[in-house]
Structure 1
């Protein structure tokens, strides 16, 4: 069992969501604050890293979906709803879409260390 503890843990959609929520936080927000919700720009960066933007998903699509929620940041449940809408609009399989996001990994240039449980 000790071998299992030595292996690096793989990210999940949930763990990557947390990483992206705290990546490139706007400067006027508290530096030590930890976020559990995602900004539109952070989602767009994730989709771009996963090579899903600008084709088959556009910034216009994500922006219009975000406007429906009428809040600055989306929690994980809202985020999953947005993914469902995007997969339907872009004619992508929802489960494959989530796998693609996980495969994209953490943000390029991210320096923070995240513990994956």
Structure 2
């Protein structure tokens, strides 16, 4: 079992969601804030990293779907709903889209959660 500890851990859709929620965060007056919800810009960044944007998914599509929620940030459940809507719009399987996002990995240049100072 010790060999399992030596292997690099693989990301899941929810572990990457937490990383992207805290990627490229602009400093606020809150110290050491960790976010558990995602901004539209962070979602777009993830889709670009996965090479799903600008083709087959556009910023307009993500923006229009995101605006339906009337929230600044989307929690994990809302995020999954957005993925379902996007996958239906571009005729890409939902599970295939999630797998593509997982394979894209963490944001380029980011290896851990960003702490806002």
- How does the TM-score come out when normalised to structure 2? 0.92
Matched, 1:86 2:86: yes
The residue that corresponds to 1:8 in the other structure is 8
Question: Which residue in 1 is equivalent to 2:65?
Answer: 65
Unpaired segments ≥5 residues, structure 1: none
Aligned pairs for 1:1-117 within 5 A:
1-28=1-28, 30-112=30-112
For structure 2, the 5+ residue unaligned runs are none
The structure 1 segments of at least 4 consecutive aligned residues displaced by more than 2 Å after TM superposition are: 27-31, 111-114
Deviation (angstroms), 1:45: 0.2
Structure number with the bigger relative contact order (C-alpha 8 A, sep ≥ 6) is 2
What do you get for the CA RMSD once the two structures are aligned?
1.4
- Check whether the contact 2:65–2:82 (CA below 8 A) recurs between aligned residues: yes
- How many matched pairs? 114
Distance apart, 1:102 and its partner CA: 0.2
